[in-house]
């Protein structure tokens, strides 16, 4: 039951055009609200959907009179005495969220999210997270990071290259061997004490007041066009002709004329054209080993050599710079003396380069940067060699084939140099001739390296 007429929600011909007094708007006449009849020019009848205010038994709740409508709405577009109804939302879109100029989310935040600004801490307004997720912006950030890394790498490269000591070692001369197959490096380790303090000399058992320099390590590294590199030791006591100085031990060439005379002597006796030179002294060797945290070596028996300052136990252990220097210098403990020492030198050099070029060192800047700077500041190279070539030779020395030049007589007495060593001339000629021509070297000439101790 209701107090309202059954057709209160319909417009009837007699109600059409009724409106609020003084509003000038058409409306529906409702009981209790007298309205004038529709006159000329009245608007078309309209239908207003009014929500049901009472759906159960009992008296209906009274509707608010017109004079209690919210301010500003009284008599404006209302039909009769009914308050304005909300617009229907069926079939319509919600209002779109406005954006600030530039496409950002309003600074007031995302409606209903409870998050001010863009919804991401530190971002608001036009710098919202949506802008940072755009593909162009992501590519721009990646490009900047890549550029910085490239600039840093290029800068580091030239910095390290500038630390290298370069000398005019490889000079042309009449009768210099022609370029053969592959590439050849002359590698030397000298007993130069340059840069070592008195305390370091005592610790390394390197002696005092020793002038000049001698080369205890002389090797030729051959890099073929195809196949594994070959590292060849040339014993320092080899009795050979030294240009302008007659017959003498090979390391005398280094003492007399430095690396330039040594390089010429090696080229003459091997027939190989030396393309690059690399040398390192006592102090540099120690710095390099310490820079990478030492080198692991496994010994079958203890090694105690007071002359070299060496006290090593049996088994696997990590040698620091001083211990490593003693290890590659020691020869008095072996029956073959220097011939065993050069094998130990090859074993250690391979272990050193394997660690320097390992992933653990290369990807760790706390290891790789000290190792790179320590190495670059310790090396002497020819003027035509750069850091790029040094990086290549470092990887080549990770796992080369190794041998010693064929020996004919290891205890040859001389008048001017004491006991010396003679090569097996025929086998040495075949070894170097095959390398120069790019032919395979007979396996009988590849003796390998056996560690002493």
Q: What is the pLDDT of residue 386?
A: 87
Residue environment code for 27-59, b if the CB has 16+ CB neighbours within 10 A, otherwise e: bbbbeebebeebeeeeeebeeeeeeeeeeeeee
Cα gap 294→408, rounded to integer Å: 37
Query: Which residues face 379 on adjacent strands?
Result: 280
Count the residues in the chain. Answer: 453
Query: Residue 136: helix, strand or coil by DSSP?
Result: helix
Q: What is the pLDDT of residue 150?
A: 54
List the domains of the chain with CATH numbers.
165-445 (3.40.630.190)
Q: What is the pLDDT of residue 73?
A: 47
Cα gap 49→83, rounded to integer Å: 12
pTM reported for the whole predicted model: 0.65
Q: What secondary structure does DSSP assign to 375-387, as a single string?
A: HHTTEEEETT--H
Q: What is the pLDDT of residue 77?
A: 46
Q: What is the pLDDT of residue 263?
A: 97
Q: What is the pLDDT of residue 23?
A: 44
Question: Residue 58 CA to chain centroid, in angstroms?
Answer: 83
Query: Residue 239: helix, strand or coil by DSSP?
Result: strand
Query: Residue 362: helix, strand or coil by DSSP?
Result: helix
Distances (CA, A) of 450 to 248, 305, 334, 347, 453: 28, 19, 12, 8, 10
From first to last of its 453 residues, the chain has per-residue pLDDT tens of 555 555 555 554 444 444 444 444 444 444 444 444 444 444 444 444 544 444 445 555 555 554 444 454 444 444 445 556 555 555 555 555 555 554 554 544 445 444 454 444 545 555 555 665 567 666 666 666 665 555 556 667 677 778 888 999 999 999 999 999 999 999 998 765 455 555 655 555 554 444 456 678 999 999 998 889 999 999 999 999 999 999 999 999 999 999 999 999 999 999 999 999 999 887 788 888 988 889 999 998 898 888 777 889 999 999 998 899 889 888 888 888 899 999 999 999 999 999 988 888 887 777 878 888 878 888 899 999 988 899 889 999 999 999 999 999 999 999 999 999 999 999 999 999 999 999 999 999 999 998 876
């Amino acid at each position: 039951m209701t107090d309202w007429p059954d057709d209160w929600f319909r417009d009837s011909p007699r109600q059409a055009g009724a409106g609020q007094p003084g509003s000038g708007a058409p409306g529906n006449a409702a009981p209790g609200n007298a309205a004038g009849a529709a006159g000329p020019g009245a608007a078309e009848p309209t239908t207003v959907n009014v929500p049901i205010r009472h759906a159960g038994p009992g008296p209906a709740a009274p509707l608010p009179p017109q004079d209690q409508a919210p301010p500003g709405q009284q008599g404006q577009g209302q039909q009769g005495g009914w308050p304005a109804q909300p617009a229907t939302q069926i079939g319509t879109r919600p209002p779109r969220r406005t954006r600030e100029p530039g496409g950002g989310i309003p600074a007031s935040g995302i409606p209903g999210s409870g998050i001010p600004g863009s919804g991401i801490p530190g971002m608001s307004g036009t710098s919202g997270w949506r802008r940072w997720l755009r593909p162009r912006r992501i590519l721009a950030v990646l490009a900047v990071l890549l550029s910085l890394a490239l600039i840093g790498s290029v800068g580091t490269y030239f910095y390290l290259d500038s630390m290298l000591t370069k000398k005019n070692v490889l000079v042309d001369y009449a009768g210099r061997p022609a370029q053969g197959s592959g590439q050849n490096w002359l590698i030397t380790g000298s007993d130069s004490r340059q840069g070592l303090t008195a305390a370091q000399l005592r610790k390394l058992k390197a002696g005092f007041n020793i002038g000049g320099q001698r080369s205890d390590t002389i090797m030729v590294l051959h890099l073929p066009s195809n196949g594994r590199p070959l590292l060849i030791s040339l014993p320092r006591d080899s009795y050979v002709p030294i240009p302008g100085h007659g017959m003498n031990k090979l390391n005398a060439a280094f003492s007399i004329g430095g690396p330039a005379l040594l390089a010429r002597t090696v080229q003459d006796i091997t027939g190989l054209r030396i393309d690059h030179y690399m040398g390192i002294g006592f102090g540099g060797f120690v710095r390099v080993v310490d820079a990478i945290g030492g080198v692991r070596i496994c010994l079958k028996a203890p090694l105690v050599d007071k002359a070299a300052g060496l006290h090593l136990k049996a088994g696997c252990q990590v040698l620091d710079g001083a211990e490593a220097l003693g290890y590659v210098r020691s020869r008095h403990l072996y029956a073959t003396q220097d011939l065993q020492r050069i094998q130990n030198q090859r074993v250690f050099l391979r272990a050193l380069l394997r660690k320097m070029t390992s992933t653990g060192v290369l990807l760790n800047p706390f290891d790789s940067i000290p190792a790179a700077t320590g190495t670059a500041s310790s090396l002497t190279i020819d003027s035509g060699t750069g850091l790029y070539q040094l990086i290549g030779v470092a990887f080549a020395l990770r796992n080369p084939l190794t041998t010693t030049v064929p020996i004919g007589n290891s205890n040859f007495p001389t008048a001017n140099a004491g006991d010396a060593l003679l090569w097996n001339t025929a086998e040495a000629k075949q070894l170097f001739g095959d390398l120069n021509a790019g032919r395979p070297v007979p396996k009988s000439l590849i003796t390998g390296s056996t560690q002493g101790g």
